[in-house]
Amino acid sequence: MKHFPFYRIFRDFKACFDRDPAARTPLGVLEVIFLYSGFHAVLVYRFAHLLHRLHIPFIPRLISQIARFLTGVEIHPGARIGPGFFIDHGMGVVIGETTIIGENVTIYQGVTLGGTGKERGKRHPTIGNNVVVGVGAKVLGNIRIGNHVKVGGGSVVIHPVPDYCTVVGVPGEIVRIDGKKPEEIDLDHGDLPDPVKELKNRLRALQKEVDRIETYHKSRQTQKSGNG
């Protein structure tokens, strides 16, 4: 069932309500159908991908470029995207040709799932299930992002990430590993650890300790001079 296009479209449509509070209004259904550019882009991608799988030349890429012009979201028809895919405020999203995306994945505006050079074959990332990729994040190269991973906004990820991890920074570093399986998709990507801030705090603490030791030694030297 999950491999049928209409089932995937239904899951994509349902994901808008599950993950966007703005869609939970009396007119939410109409808003998603007519106003959600992310959903429009995924809907057009499903059709273009079907033509791509049928080895129809030119037309799938043409459709994807028209969708890019209309929605600001560029999804190559060769990408493989599982059901329940949600793009929130999708302007500037780019998804490369050999990208593989699992089920129930959420990405925000400005995200790039791209390559790192001119290599051939599988050159784009593989994204696991229940992944959240924050605003402006870049996931580059033929790497695997595990299940239940959160990628912080603005991060640049160029190395594989295991399941149940949180990644932030440039380049992306794993700052949290949680072995517990979440009961639902955690969309809170705005309150993630900041490794740079943590490093600064540690350096300040270290500097205070060095200053304290220097003050102590100076006072000892002063006492010795006075006794002498």
Q: Kindly report, residue by residue over 59-76, the tens digit of the pLDDT.
A: 999 999 999 999 999 999
**Cβ pair 5, 46 in contact under 8 A:** yes
CA atoms of 212 and 32, how far apart (whole Å): 60
pLDDT of residue 175: 86
**Predicted pLDDT of residue 77:** 97
Rounded-to-integer distance, Cα 130 and Cα 16, Å = 14
pTM over cut 0.85: no
| Structure token pair of residue 6 | 């209409």
Do the Cβ atoms of 161 and 178 come closer than 8 Å? no
In angstroms, the CA 169 to CA 103 distance is: 25
Q: What is the pLDDT of residues 75-85, one digit of tens each?
A: 999 999 999 99
Which pLDDT does position 147 carry in this prediction? Answer: 96
Q: In this structure, are strands 150-151 and 138-140 parallel, antiparallel, or unpaired?
A: unpaired
Strand arrangement, sheet containing 126-127 = 80-81, 100-101, 126-127, 144-145
- For the chain, residues with pLDDT lower than 50 are 181-183
